[in-house]
Structure 1
Amino acid sequence: MGRRPSGAERRREQSRGRPPRPGQAPAQTPDLGGRLPVALLVPGDEGMGLSALGWQVVHRLLSQEPGLAVERFFLGKGFNAPAAHDSGRDLTLFPLMAASVSFEEDFLPLLRTLAAAGVPPSRAERPDYPLVLVGGPVAFLNPAPLAPLADAFWVGEAEAGLTEFCLAMKRAAFDGVPKQEFLASVKDMPGLYVPGMSTLPVRRVLALERDRPGLLACPAASGFTGPKAAFADAMLLEINRGCPHACRFCAAGYIYRPPRHARMDDLVRLVEEAAPPKVGLVGTALTDWPDLLPFLRWLADRKTKFSLSSLRADGLGEELLEFLRQCGIRTITLALEGASERLRRAANKKLDAEVFLDAVERCARLGVNHLRLYLIIGWPWETAEDYDELEAFLGQVMAARDRGHGARTREFMRITLGASCLVPKPFTPMQWAPMMSEAGLLAGQKRLTEMTRKLRGLALHVDAPFQARLQGVLSRGGEETFRLVELAAEGGWKKAMRRFETETADILDRQRGETEAFPWEVVDIGVSRQLLWREYGRADRAVHSPGCPALGCAGCGACGMDRWLEQI
């Protein structure tokens, strides 16, 4: 067997597909036709990637541009130098590496992948191409922990100018313009944050129809489906973006303002073009969409299966639930959020206990066989009395299920209670709050275990408090947090967190001051800090606040989004 070519030899063999270095003449590449090679980096394996929408939107946008040659890289856990999913090309042949980062845990495979491919993970060590661009929710939730890695961030929605940025880079790269000179020329481009160069704060960019800001002009849809996907063979469709209910723990309700709904006609067209066997409806407020039931009826008429994400109990009426059961939906998900009414008021979760119990009874009566309930523990104001109230309420849930069953004995609705740990996120009213300690979270989980053990047909699933605390550090830290990711690349997250204890305590374990500056405020999401601080005070007093008005931002004035939108 012949000797396997080294990485350097493979790169030389494939160098025809690479744009010139600064000062070189543009390469004539028959295989790419003079297009700019763009590597789209997707953390995780192919199965998870095929069930994530954000990067697929970017792929669709950029691959439609004749001047760009976009290829997918699924990073897995990042231990190996990846090859392009489409062509097998080496990552180092791509002068633009665009990473779609949705979750803080994605930081580690991204860093490992660059290192495994021979690309310095630190931007300080990459004065020349490749240019590493980071997009996705992390880019406008808190880009600071990845600022030492990324040359630039795309802040906001890809439909609002990402293609133009890529074409500007193509011109610069093929004209021999050095990377730093190119970055200096685009540093204040709308939607672009270049650490150390851009004028701050950088405004998030949105793809809006100015005369209809409540409309989701470009609903996201899966460009790739298949049996390997986590949601096998399902085309995912975005029904709404953002959420009007203003729950104080939920970043999506703030960083995606204004809340927008898709047009049914747009979704019908997408389904007709793709003709998928199944559709998964994605959104933060599905039952708020006025066309939900008409669209589901349309899908059923064309014999297209569907699934839905979490529903609100007050939106799960008799007609909708009866239709879902007729279509074979046997699992329903409802969010409870707080253990007690007081904590739900603190969270601004407007949940009527009687409406919730009626929804449980209705589910049991109509033959739903699995009800998922979601709960958040770890609130700063949590006490033993809140768990006492939860125990009593779960007893009422069991009684409602039994009433729904009635005389039927052959069917039984099992219930799963999923309890996640509160991570106080940037750009929410909770950004000033300390995070509960790992010991405190474990104690809460122990209490949940004790109370649910007595309830027949109820299973408990809990998060790992360590993972929640890790997410808290990575989402709330500044640029110093990149050191934690580097330590994890050497020995894993647990060892890294032990070596990062002092920084972790400062990031997570203290109440922040009203005027303290936050590292994520290099970004302007459009929601005023004054509104967030006021809502934090109302959370402390367990007082409800109204959500976004049904008629949109115009004339509202509550969070400043109306004035912010006028400047677009």
Structure 2
Amino acid sequence: MPASRRGKTASSCLITGERGAVVKEWGGRYPVALGYPNVYQVGMGNLGFLSMYAILNAHPQIVAERFFLPDGGQKKPPVLTLESGRPLSAVRLILFSISFERDYLHVLEILKYSGLALLADDRQPADPLVMVGGVATFINPLPLSFFADAFLLGEGERQVPQVMELLLAGQQMKKSELLLSLSGVPGVYLPNSARKKSVEDCAPVKIPHCSDLDRFVPTSVVTTAGFASPLSASYLVEINRGCPRGCRFCAAGFVYRPFRNRSLPSLQPIFEAAMENGYRHFGLIGSALGDYPHLKELCSWLVRKGVAFSPASLRVDCLDAELLELLRAGGVKTLTVAPEAGSFRLRKLIHKQLNEEQILTASRLAVMTGIYQLKLYFLMGLPSETVEDLDDIFYLVSKIRKIMLDHRQSKQKSIQLTVSINPFIPKPHTPMQWAAFAGLKSLQEKQQYMQKLLRPLGNVKLEMENPWDAAWQAMLSRGNRDMGRLLLAMVERPQSPRRLIREAIKNSASLFAAQPLDIPLPWSFMQHHTSAETLLHMYQQLGPCS
């Protein structure tokens, strides 16, 4: 079967099992290909991507169709839009939504599979405009600077409608004129105009945020059947955005500032409409759900409606007996919490204001309520980390395990404790963006140490990220424009991408080291809610970290 036909067959199979897909006639409309640079199952669990699909197709003059990274092993089929099976070269605009830095490489692969030039300067006037957005880009877009015509840095609900109106009005403009007109939209960054400038000379780009979240509620506007992502059985609803806690390592807590909540009256009609369409399980999305002021009221209302729900994660200091009982009544079987460090010293250092008693009390209340599965997230390789800090992870896990075994409602009830330990990665626009990334050898030794401690514990499942993968993510997170040259080489030599990555990691000691405080960082032209001066002050307060 020809590759193009295989691609169309796969697309038709996927869309047949969906609910909520929008299929429009192309005649007279501005065609947009909206892409998530990973496989279908991953992209369809992303609310930001689905939100852009809804916003674009709400415009009567626009037809937006989705595309994903082909899931075809070594022989990749051509990239076609899901709704009509058209090639990407047939649209006017290709818009990528990127959530994770490791998907940057997939952007280039998709362009290659589509027969489009990878470098923006090599594409022809008749080729589609390539724009890139998503949270990964308003953390650091620079590795993709050679390949994008424009970046949408910031929350897309504000930008995309403005951008589309300009594109509709400028259909007869030359590409250069069109891009110039887009430069007036808040958060639009034109990498071509900045490539020959130093960091100090780049014009500042202020990152926009939505002031009124009630105006638009991201939900699972399209749901899937038979291609399960972790929450695909749920209808996802974003409850709040950002986080007020200010953990010093967390990009989401800073790039999504200020912390904002939706009103309960804006959310209830969303849930009710989904219930009328047959949905009976909901995923509550937010990076600080425990700080949502109406959380108990919302959970109680959902319980009365007779539907199931589950939160993405919750802080232990918001878990009390009343909330846990509501969660159990809502069908929650697994609770996800993030102590981040085993010792109080390290938790205090990274501004994770939790003491051990709070963590143990929440664990006890959870199992006494009837929730027998806990997932704990920890960081490894934090600055100033010692063996004693790693031992404290073991001691904390052991105490939680004992509490769960001792306080379960019946000795016949089995417990499951999943411990996820991942390397700390310095992220731009956080106070710890200047901190060092632990070396590969150090991380490998620490992983072996933690495996020796935790593997013998019954009812404990240990998950740890490969240090090589973490190092690659760290490179992309703090990379500058030159990182694009490595991405280009990896796509042009697809037989040896792992070798290229490993060589680059071995030669990137300066990128992994603590960054000098008196030299502007490559992404410092981006202006988020928290100023660089404030971030630096927070970093310097960390003491041994800085």
Q: Within 2, Cα distance between the matches of 1:114 and 1:475?
A: 22
Q: Is the 8 A contact 1:56 1:223 kept in 2?
A: yes
Normalised by the length of structure 1, the TM-score is 0.86
- Measured after TM superposition, the shift of residue 110 of structure 1 is 1.3
SS in 1 for 2:508: helix
Q: Within 1, Cα distance between the matches of 2:248 and 2:339?
A: 14
Q: Within 2, Cα distance between the matches of 1:401 and 1:542?
A: 34
Normalised by the length of structure 2, the TM-score is 0.89
1:332 equivalent in alignment to 2:335: yes
Indicate the residue corresponding to 1:527 in structure 2: 530
Indicate the residue corresponding to 2:352 in structure 1: 349
- Measured after TM superposition, the shift of residue 488 of structure 1 is 2.4
Q: Is the 8 A contact 2:310 2:330 kept in 1?
A: no
Name the CA shift for 1:355/1:94 in 2 (closer, same or farther; >3 Å): same
Where in structure 2 are there 5+ consecutive unaligned residues?
Answer: 9-23, 195-201
- What code does the residue aligned with 1:535 have? M
Q: Is the 8 A contact 1:77 1:109 kept in 2?
A: no
Indicate the residue corresponding to 1:192 in structure 2: 188
Which of 102, 106, 111 is residue 114 of structure 1 equivalent to?
A: 111
Indicate the residue corresponding to 2:396 in structure 1: 393
Report which of the two structures shows the higher radius of gyration computed on alpha carbons: 1
Indicate the residue corresponding to 2:57 in structure 1: 63
Q: Is the 8 A contact 2:70 2:78 kept in 1?
A: no
Q: Is the 8 A contact 1:207 1:217 kept in 2?
A: no
Q: Is the 8 A contact 2:133 2:152 kept in 1?
A: yes
Indicate the residue corresponding to 2:217 in structure 1: 219
Q: Is the 8 A contact 1:374 1:419 kept in 2?
A: yes
1:153 equivalent in alignment to 2:155: no
- Measured after TM superposition, the shift of residue 127 of structure 1 is 4.6
Q: Within 2, Cα distance between the matches of 1:251 and 1:150?
A: 23
Indicate the residue corresponding to 1:97 in structure 2: 94
Which of 48, 54, 69 is residue 54 of structure 1 equivalent to?
A: 48
1:313-462 pair list within 5 angstroms? 313-405=316-408, 408-462=410-464
SS in 1 for 2:422: strand
Q: Within 1, Cα distance between the matches of 2:545 and 2:145?
A: 36
SS in 2 for 1:500: helix
- Measured after TM superposition, the shift of residue 501 of structure 1 is 4.1
Indicate the residue corresponding to 1:466 in structure 2: 468
Q: Within 1, Cα distance between the matches of 2:246 and 2:37?
A: 30
Q: Within 2, Cα distance between the matches of 1:268 and 1:390?
A: 40
Name the CA shift for 1:170/1:354 in 2 (closer, same or farther; >3 Å): same
Which of 503, 508, 513 is residue 504 of structure 1 equivalent to?
A: 508
Q: Which moved more, 1:343-352 or 1:218-227?
A: 218-227
Indicate the residue corresponding to 1:258 in structure 2: 258
CA deviations 1:378-424 (Å, max 9, x no partner) are 11211112123333333322332233137x31113221111111110
Q: Within 2, Cα distance between the matches of 1:6 and 1:204?
A: 39
Q: Within 2, Cα distance between the matches of 1:472 and 1:261?
A: 31
1:310 equivalent in alignment to 2:307: no
Q: Which moved more, 1:523-532 or 1:393-402?
A: 393-402
- What code does the residue aligned with 1:83 have? L
- What code does the residue aligned with 2:462 have? L
Indicate the residue corresponding to 1:162 in structure 2: 160
Indicate the residue corresponding to 1:559 in structure 2: none
Q: Within 2, Cα distance between the matches of 1:282 and 1:434?
A: 31
Q: Which moved more, 1:246-255 or 1:522-531?
A: 522-531
Name the CA shift for 1:138/1:392 in 2 (closer, same or farther; >3 Å): closer
Which of 470, 478, 483 is residue 481 of structure 1 equivalent to?
A: 483
Q: Which moved more, 1:120-129 or 1:368-377?
A: 120-129
Q: Within 2, Cα distance between the matches of 1:50 and 1:161?
A: 22
SS in 2 for 1:40: strand
Report the identity percentage. Answer: 33
CA deviations 1:276-326 (Å, max 9, x no partner) are 221101111111112112112222222222111111111110011122223
Q: Is the 8 A contact 1:98 1:132 kept in 2?
A: yes
Where in structure 1 are there 5+ consecutive unaligned residues?
Answer: 11-29, 210-214, 544-568
Name the CA shift for 1:402/1:204 in 2 (closer, same or farther; >3 Å): same
- Measured after TM superposition, the shift of residue 272 of structure 1 is 1.8
Indicate the residue corresponding to 2:269 in structure 1: 269
Q: Within 2, Cα distance between the matches of 1:161 and 1:498?
A: 37
Indicate the residue corresponding to 1:561 in structure 2: none
- Measured after TM superposition, the shift of residue 541 of structure 1 is 4.4
Q: Within 2, Cα distance between the matches of 1:539 and 1:458?
A: 32
- Measured after TM superposition, the shift of residue 157 of structure 1 is 1.2
Q: Which moved more, 1:364-373 or 1:313-322?
A: 364-373
